[in-house]
Every structure is written in structure tokens, then in C-alpha cells.
Structure 1
Amino acid sequence: MAYSSNVTRASVRRLAVPSVAGESWRDSGPPLIAFVAVAFTLAQLALVRPGMGLGWDETVYVSQVSGHAPAAYFSAPRARGVSLLVAPIASWSSSTALLRVWLAVLSGAALYFALRVWRGLFPGRVLALGGAFFASLWVTVFYGPQAMPNYWVAIGALAATGCFLRAQADSTDRAALWGLAANAALMAWMRPTDAVWTTLPLLALLVLVRRWRRLLLLLALLGGLAAGALEWIVEAYVAYGGLAQRLSDGSRAQGGLGWHLAVLDQMRSLGGRALCRPCTGAMPHPLVTAWWFVLPLLAALAAVVAVGRTGRTSRTLVPLACAATAAIPYLFLIGYAAPRFLLPAYALLAIPVADALRHLVTAPDGSRRPIVSVLVALGIVVHLGVQLTVLHGMVERTTAAHRTWSRIAVDLHRLGLRSPCLLTGQEAIPIAFYTGCSSAATSGNNTNSTAAEIADTARRVPTAHLGTTTGRPPSYTRGWTAYTVEGVRVLVSPKAGEREEHGVASVTGGGGRG
């Protein structure tokens, strides 16, 4: 198999993506793209509330670099990209509001640069519309300012695909090569397995299609993926028993990867469920899921339109193919759902879908154009209304849950649980972060201890077990004092009692013996 670091002029002419209105991606970004990025940042700050506490997964990532609490158990599927992303703030400040502002600004800037990569591949208005579509989804606004990896995989996928197309069109574009490597590294840095799934079409084109073979481009893509995943791979051998074992543990943590039809689960999660596991209950209102049915239709229209246009085929079909492979594991290979899993697919679909909408409202059929334009405008208005409604409900529920964790932490402090301390039981990981304690589990995906080790620790530092009022407590809590805090049954070790403040019974609602 032969590779060439350069392509012939004929090949360049065949693959070249003509510049739109003479614009180059190196020029300053168009005002419309900048406006979308700024609006996205402001929407996060206004609608998601910087003061919203950290979620379960966020506490895991933030605790790795925070001085507020000990590092939580880092399970096999996780990667440390998010922890490094939040380190500039979390390493010295425990302010959630400040962290949210940092991530909102960072995510807005990242969206701008990811869209800017596509300048010249599509008209500026299409890029702005595509960016607005992606940025208007409730799941994008909700997770943009959160310490979670999925948005950043989406941004890396969007920018990497644009850089790939540029480098294919112009063999002298070294900036595109470096951009491809950097964004492939970003994806792998955040979620290595997602990075592989998303870039499969790019790798297939570079290896299997003769006229797409470019050695430098292949090296840039593979090098970027390897650089981003290097720490994860090294950690696999240091802490997880090897790469194969880490992949196996990661599969088990997700219920076992294999054939699972999760399409309906994803639809149920669109109504505002952070994690749908198990995913039961009624489907959301049809208005909530309508855009999900329209999206593949517009993607198909974009493909049909692209095939009929010179120079448009690859720049439309390539991101569509990457969107499909990015979605495959979360639609067909895991037995549960979370809306954030599909963010990379939505980002890659955004620009082709925007181009399809543009085609609908600018088609030469003058008699139908006004009707189509009105229908598209009406659909956009309804879409925005639905997204805002779901987002509002999601923020309200999430904020209430996080405030409950915060109140439990306050009461645990009054019960004598202050660092150094240990929490076990249900929701021990997030509540431990709020309290400033370590967490431990003897079963489940976050197993990191044994009953004997917990009992030994309880003799040295304040320890508490969080459970239900009807559940059977573990054996190591025998003789511990029982309290009820925010509906949670808290069993506190004698060591914690040494720190207990006077009058705590009136705060916790009384106590008893476990």
C-alpha cells in the first residue's frame, strides 16, 4: 500500500473545497459565528445558574485536583481530561460558581474556534445556523458549563473533521494537520473510546480509499489519538491490571457492551433525565421528541443535496458518517441512556443539517418557497420553546438535588464528620465531596475497599454510613449511632461522636442505636 506526502495537482482539483466568498479559515471569524458563541456563553450563565452545585460525576472529576476533598475513586471508563480542564480553578478555589463561569467562557470560545475551522467549506450563515442549532439544544446548554467530558468530545469531533477536510483539500495546509492532531488528542484526552468511534470514518478513508490516502494526515490523526490516550493507557497498566483489563472493567461498569437497542431509552431521556438507568416510564410529550425524528430526515436531505453539488459531497458526507459512528455505541451497544452521550453526533450533524435547511428556504421553486420558509421558521420557534422548557425543568430538579446533598453535608459536619473522615453507602461519592470526606464502597462499579478495611478506618477517623430507613445496614456499623438527615438514615461511628457538637439531635431529628 503506497502513501504519498503530497497529492498531484489533478487530485487537488478533484478534492479541493472551494473557498466561500474568498474567505480563508485563517481570517478572523465572521461576526455571526462570534455572536452565536457569545450568546451560547451568556445562555449558560443565565439559564444553568453558576451556583448550581456539582453533580455525581463532576465531584469525581473535580476531586482529583481539588484541595477541598480527597480524590474519589476513579473507575475504569473515566479519563482525566476533565480534571485537567478544571484544574486552573479547582486546584485553588472551592467555588462552584467560579468553576461554572470558567467552563461557560471556555465552552463558548471552543465553539467559536470549532466553527471557524469550517470557514470556506460552508457559507458563514450556514455555520452560524449550525452552531446555533447545536448551542440551542438543552443538553448542550446544560452540559457546556459542567465538568463533564461529552461536550468537549463533541467540540473536538467538529473541529477535527473540519481540519481533516481542509488537509485533504490542500496538502500544504500544515495548520490543518496540526489542528487535526490537536483535536483528536482532545477527544482521546476526554474519552478515548469515543474518540476511536468518532474517527473511524476518517481512518477508513485514509486506509481504504486510494485517492484519500495521505501519510501525513494518517500520522496526524493516529498521533493525536495516541497522545490524548497515552495517560489513560499508562494508567491502565499502573492501576487497573493492563489495558485489556481496564477495557473489560469499563464494559462491565456500563452493564456489559453488546447488542442493546437503546434508541427508545435515548428518546425517554430527552424529556430531561441526566441518566436513564434503568430507562423505564412513559415517553416524553411528542413535541419534546419531534426534533429527534426531524434530525435524520434533514441529514438525509443534506446528503442528497450534497451528492448533486460539485465539491460539496465530501464536506457533507464525512461529518454525517462520523456522526453515525459516534452514535452507534450509545444507540446499540449499551443498555441505558443519557442525553449527553450523543452530543458529538449532534455537533457533527449541525452544519450539514443547517445546510439542508438553507436549501429548503432558498430552493428555486418560487411558488413553494414562502410556505416552506414559514414552516421552517415556525419549526425553529417551537424547537426553541421546547428546549428552553426542558432545560428549565432539568436545572430546577438538578439544583434541588444538589442542595439536598449540601444540607446533608452541613448536618454531617454537625455530627462530627470533618476531614479527615470517611463516608460509605448510597450517594457516598458526591456527599463525601460536599462534606470534605473520603468515600468507600464494598460493591458495585466503585468498589475500592472491604468491610474489614472500613471497620479499621472507623476506629481511627470519623466514619458514617448513608442508607435508607428500611435497608439493612452493613455489619461494620454495629454499635454506631443512628440519625435521620434529609430522609437519609445516617449511622455514625463512635469516633465521630467525639467531634459531635452540642445540640445536634435537634438538627438531625434525634438519634438511636444502629
Structure 2
Amino acid sequence: MACGTRPLAVVACLFTAVQFALVVPGSGIGWDEAVYVSQVSPYVPAAFFSAPRARGITFLAAPAAALSQDPTALRIWFALLSGAALFGSFRLWLAILRPAVVVSAAGLFASLWITLLYGSQAMPNLWVAYGALAAVACLLLPASRGTHAGLAAAMAVVALMRPSDALWLALPLAAAALASRAPGRLVALTGGVALGALPWVVEAHLRYGGLTARLHRAGEIQGGFAGQFAFGAQLRALSGRTLCRPCSDVPLNHPELALWWLGLPVAVAAGIAVARGRRRPLVLATAAAASVSVPYLFLIGYAAPRFLLPAYALLALPAAQALVHAARTWRRPALAALAVALAGHLAVQYAVLDRAADRYRLTRTAYARTAQELHGHGVRPPCTVSGHEAVRVAYALGCSSRQVGGHDGSIGAGTLQAMACLRPVVLLTSDGAPPPAYARTWRPHGLSPLPGLRSLHAYLPPGCADRAATPRAASTG
């Protein structure tokens, strides 16, 4: 067994164990997750799949989705899978950097609340991070059929998960391949990106009228790809918000939660400075991290901490180099101060993770209650949910979700009204918002509010409301 493999395996096992202890129990499903998982679930009709999304994560989710609609099965599957991927992606670096640096980097990355929260979720960003780690390592390892295949496979995984991330990641790696005059690596790099992006491109022609049309629609949904400055938004999101859109009205009440983020560039610069003979791998990892961060810091006007997971994974390597160097050269008082700082960092990560995980548990209880209340009004599969939070409510019910207009518009008002003659249909509104014109004659029913809402109402067409007394007819309609 290679030196460092066992400690790295311990880190991966601890990473999975913490997820099982703090995140997995009672966790509900997120909005994006419901969209992804519904594509491969035999229990829930597929939700509308918008232009920016890629289907890579649905392939990983399929085994757990086939077993159960319960989010716990999904959480267990991804917690195990993410622990194994953490080990595998960092293990490649044991042949490039000192074992202490690699193990420390894995520990730093695995200890972030963002990594721990998304380790057990069906979301693509962490898998882009693992693919990026593997791709950079394979580019740095001695050229061979194995490393070329590994580079192609890693880039294909990244492109399957998020094609745009693969393109940004490929830029510095292609430059490094050209500089080292390694045509085989360049072929593997471009071939991997093309292979992984192929399903997205094919779907663009089948569903959106071509690649240009899909890119245009994706830009519309994400607010346009123009020069924007999202550093402040990312800073505010570090308090535990999984999505900050918009962020202008989010106060920075706890700046101490973002101190590690502000200190990361300093640690990275220090790690590169003290690396000496191993500087090139750290420079390339940093360049790749910077490149893959560009769209999330400069091209969109909102933030989610998970967007930067690939950058954090790569930057953990030079940051760990700085920590290992400090541990070997600093005197005891300085080391004691560093140990206190690391302990504080871990305490902050745990505090934010605990709050974020609590919100997911609260979400599960709330959506289960909403589903039960709608069951009482005769809403049972096959059924359709529209309006506010339709995706997650539909997932809890086992219904389809359809929206009239907006980014996820997938049905016309007349079609939705006609559908009510065949199956239960429900329109959800929140915080006193009136129903749209096509539903003004529908019957309102008050529901328990979901987290973050003051009120929630369900509007049911007369045909659906009448089924409340005959639920058997509703379930077979």
C-alpha cells in the first residue's frame, strides 16, 4: 500500500461518518435535487428539465432512486459514494505531492460545511470537484495510456455534470499540455470534454432547436452571462445559505463565518511560495481553480457556496502545503496559535453545517405535512402540481409538476385546466398572492405554511375538489 493511502482512507471514512451522523438522518430533498432525481425515479414523474441543467448527476442518482422515493436512501447512497470518490481523487496526488500534504488537503476540503452538506446530495458540483482533482493529477503524472485514459475519463465526468465547468477547467490544462509539448494529453483532454458534453449537445438539438438556442436560453435563466462581480454575494452565502438570489438584501450579520474564505488566498500563496521543488503542480492546481471560478465570480449576479466546490478542492492542495510547512518549521508558540485557528475554523464549519442540516430536516417535515394535507383534499397520483414550490410538493406527493410561464414554463393555462378533468390538479400560492386569472374560480384551501412563508393556499378546480369525498376515483383518474 502506497505511503499515505491509509491516512487518506481514514479521512474518507471520517468524512462519510460525519455525514451519517450530522446530515443524513431525517434530511429532506432540495428543489434542484427533486428535479434531478425525478428524471430517473420510477415513483415520481419527471419534473421540467431546464436548459442550463446537465444529466450527469441523474446517472449517479439512478441506483438509489430506483430503490425508494425516500430521501434517506438517496442520502446514504451519496454519502458512501462521495467518501469513496474523495479517497480516489486525492489518492492520485500521492504520486505528485508529499503524503502529508495530500492527506491534509483532503482533510481541509472534507471539513468544509459545504463539502459535508453536499456529499450526500444529488447535486453535480462536488462531482465536478472530484473530476477536476483527478484531471489535474492525470495531466501532471508521467504520460502513459493509463494517465491519458484517466484524464479523458475525468474530463468526461466533469462535462457530464456541468459542461460549462469542463470548458473553463480545460483552458489552463490545455495551456499546460501545449507548454509541455504533449499532444497525447491534449487529445485526451479535448476528447474527454467532447465525450462528456455530447449528451447535452444532442439534447440541445432534440429539445431546444440547436446548441445556440440552448445556450441562449440557459443564459436567460441564469440572468445573463455579463460582467458581474459576485464576490460579495459569495461572502454572504457562506453563512449557510444554499442559494443567494438576489444577495443585495442579505445582511452580513456574521462576518466571522467568512474569515476562512478571506484567508484562503493567503494560505494558497504561502503554500506555493514554500513548495520549492513541487511548485509546478500547485501552480497548475491554483490556475485550474481560478479558471473554473470565473463564471461564478464574474459572470453571474447570484451565489451558491456549492458553485465554488471545485475551486476549494484544488486550492486545498497549496493551502495544505502551507500548513505542513508551518508544522515542520514553526516554533511551539506559533504552532499553538495555528492549532487554535484550525480548531476555530472547524468549530465554525460545524456550526454552519448544523444549522443547514436542521433546515433540511425541517423541510422534510414541512413537505410531508403539505402532502398529507393535500391528500385530504383528494390530491393523489396521478396528479399535477403547479405554482409556488410545485417541484418539491409534487415530489412528496408522487405527482408531476408543471408551470404556466416563467423559466420552467412547460404547460399552457388551457391545457392545465383541461387536465383537471382527467386527474387532480392543484395550484399553490404563498403569502396572500392571488391566483392567476385562469384559476380565479378554483376553490381555495388553506395549508400549513412551508418554511420561510407566512401562508400557503391550494387552489383546486371544482372537478378535483369534488373528488375529496371519493378518493378512490381520484387515485384512478
Q: Which bin holds the TM-score, normalised by the shorter protein?
A: over 0.9
CA distance in 2, matches of 1:241, 1:301: 49
CA distance in 2, matches of 1:297, 1:501: 66
CA distance in 2, matches of 1:136, 1:394: 15
Aligned twin of 1:412: 374
Q: Shift in Å at residue 411 of structure 1?
A: 1.1
CA distance in 2, matches of 1:29, 1:95: 37
Aligned twin of 1:13: none
TM-score normalized by the length of structure 2: 0.94
Aligned twin of 1:369: 331
Q: Shift in Å at residue 29 of structure 1?
A: 6.0
Q: Shift in Å at residue 49 of structure 1?
A: 2.4
Q: Shift in Å at residue 412 of structure 1?
A: 1.1
CA distance in 2, matches of 1:217, 1:206: 6
Q: Does 1:429 align with 2:391?
A: yes
CA distance in 1, matches of 2:86, 2:145: 22
Q: Shift in Å at residue 164 of structure 1?
A: 0.8
Aligned twin of 1:349: 315
Q: Does 1:358 align with 2:324?
A: yes
CA distance in 2, matches of 1:199, 1:130: 22
Aligned twin of 1:288: 257
* Aligned counterpart in structure 1 of residue 201 of structure 2, from 205, 225, 233: 233
* Aligned counterpart in structure 2 of residue 203 of structure 1, from 141, 150, 174: 174
CA distance in 1, matches of 2:430, 2:250: 23
* Aligned counterpart in structure 2 of residue 494 of structure 1, from 462, 469, 472: 462
CA distance in 1, matches of 2:242, 2:125: 13
Q: Compared with structure 1, are the counterparts of its residues 257 and 175 closer, same or farther at alpha carbon in structure 2 (3 Å cutoff)?
A: same
Report the 3-state secondary structure (helix = DSSP H, G, I; strand = E; otherwise coil) of the residue aligned with 2:61.
helix
| RMSD of aligned Cα (Å) | 1.6
Contact 2:40 2:62 in 1 (8 A): yes
Q: Compared with structure 1, are the counterparts of its residues 301 and 469 closer, same or farther at alpha carbon in structure 2 (3 Å cutoff)?
A: closer
Q: Shift in Å at residue 107 of structure 1?
A: 0.2
Aligned length: 464
Q: Compared with structure 1, are the counterparts of its residues 284 and 291 closer, same or farther at alpha carbon in structure 2 (3 Å cutoff)?
A: farther
Aligned twin of 1:30: 5
CA distance in 1, matches of 2:364, 2:231: 29
Q: Shift in Å at residue 147 of structure 1?
A: 0.5
Higher helix residue share: 2
Report the 3-state secondary structure (helix = DSSP H, G, I; strand = E; otherwise coil) of the residue aligned with 2:24.
coil
Aligned twin of 1:133: 108
Q: Shift in Å at residue 284 of structure 1?
A: 4.0
CA distance in 2, matches of 1:51, 1:96: 8
CA distance in 2, matches of 1:348, 1:437: 40
Report the 3-state secondary structure (helix = DSSP H, G, I; strand = E; otherwise coil) of the residue aligned with 1:500.
helix
Q: Does 1:301 align with 2:257?
A: no
Aligned twin of 2:474: none
Aligned twin of 1:258: 226
Contact 2:4 2:99 in 1 (8 A): no
Q: Shift in Å at residue 305 of structure 1?
A: 2.1
Deviations along 1:346-403, one digit per CA (max 9) or x if unpaired, are 000111110111112223xxxx522221121111100000000001111112221232
Correspondence list, 1:423-502, <5 A: 423-468=385-430, 470-486=432-448, 487-501=455-469
Aligned twin of 2:290: 324
- Of 190-199 and 144-153, deviating more is 190-199
Rg larger in structure: 1
* Aligned counterpart in structure 1 of residue 362 of structure 2, from 400, 403, 408: 400
Q: Shift in Å at residue 459 of structure 1?
A: 2.2
* Aligned counterpart in structure 2 of residue 179 of structure 1, from 150, 172, 175: 150
Deviations along 1:226-269, one digit per CA (max 9) or x if unpaired, are 11111111000000111111111111111111111110100000
Q: Shift in Å at residue 479 of structure 1?
A: 2.5
CA distance in 2, matches of 1:381, 1:191: 34
TM-score normalized by the length of structure 1: 0.88
Report the 3-state secondary structure (helix = DSSP H, G, I; strand = E; otherwise coil) of the residue aligned with 1:68.
coil
Q: Does 1:271 align with 2:239?
A: yes
Which amino acid letter does the alignment assign opposite residue 203 of structure 1? A
Report the 3-state secondary structure (helix = DSSP H, G, I; strand = E; otherwise coil) of the residue aligned with 2:88.
helix
Report the 3-state secondary structure (helix = DSSP H, G, I; strand = E; otherwise coil) of the residue aligned with 1:465.
strand
Aligned twin of 1:15: none
- Of 477-486 and 292-301, deviating more is 477-486
CA distance in 1, matches of 2:108, 2:369: 37
CA distance in 1, matches of 2:434, 2:125: 37
Contact 1:361 1:372 in 2 (8 A): no
CA distance in 2, matches of 1:469, 1:151: 34
Aligned twin of 2:451: none
Q: Shift in Å at residue 468 of structure 1?
A: 2.5
Deviations along 1:260-310, one digit per CA (max 9) or x if unpaired, are 11101000000000100011222142321110111000111122223xx23
